[in-house]
Each structure stands twice: as C-alpha cells, then as structure tokens.
Copies of this chain bind each other. A is one copy, B any other.
Amino acid sequence: MQTELKVEGMTCGHCTGAVEGALAKEAGVKKAKANLDSGLVTIDYNESEISLDKIKETIEDQGYDVK
C-alpha cells in the first residue's frame, strides 16, 4: 500500500533524512521518501505489519506535524 502524508516542519535535508530514516526502521515500511519543497512524505508499506497511525506517530516522534 502507498500513502502520501503532508508533514509540516521539515526545514532541511537533515529533517527529511530523519523522517525517512525513522520510517525505514519500522517493520512493514518498504520505502519512505520525504520531499523538502512540498513537505510530502510518500510511504510504501505493508498494512498487515504497520498501521497508518503508527506511521504518523513515527513521524511525529521525530518532531514534525502530520496534517
């Protein structure tokens, strides 16, 4: 399954890297790509292994807001 989330607060490449890295560590996340300009994070995941809520929580734990 693929989803795209709007994330606020990413200001630099460290931020996109932190979001991508945190998501990549989660079981069930196959691919995560954050776009600094748009604030969009695209996530490929296996919904039998991880919920969308858990994905959002993972991003928020890095200090960003998911809209």
Query: Residue A14 at the B interface, CB < 8 A?
Result: yes
Query: Residue A18 at the B interface, CB < 8 A?
Result: yes
- Chain A: interface residue total (CB-CB under 8 A): 7
Instruction: Encode A1-21 as 1/0 by CB contact (under 8 A) with B.
Output: 000000000011111001000
Give chain B residues whose Cβ lies under 8 Å from the Cβ of A11: 11-12
Give chain B residues whose Cβ lies under 8 Å from the Cβ of A13: 63
Residues of A within 8 A of B (CB): 11-15, 18, 63
Chain A to chain B: the 3 pairs with minimum beta-carbon distance, closest first: A14-B14, A11-B11, A11-B12
9 pairs, A vs B, C-beta closer than 8 Å: A11-B11, A11-B12, A12-B12, A12-B14, A12-B15, A13-B63, A14-B14, A14-B15, A14-B18
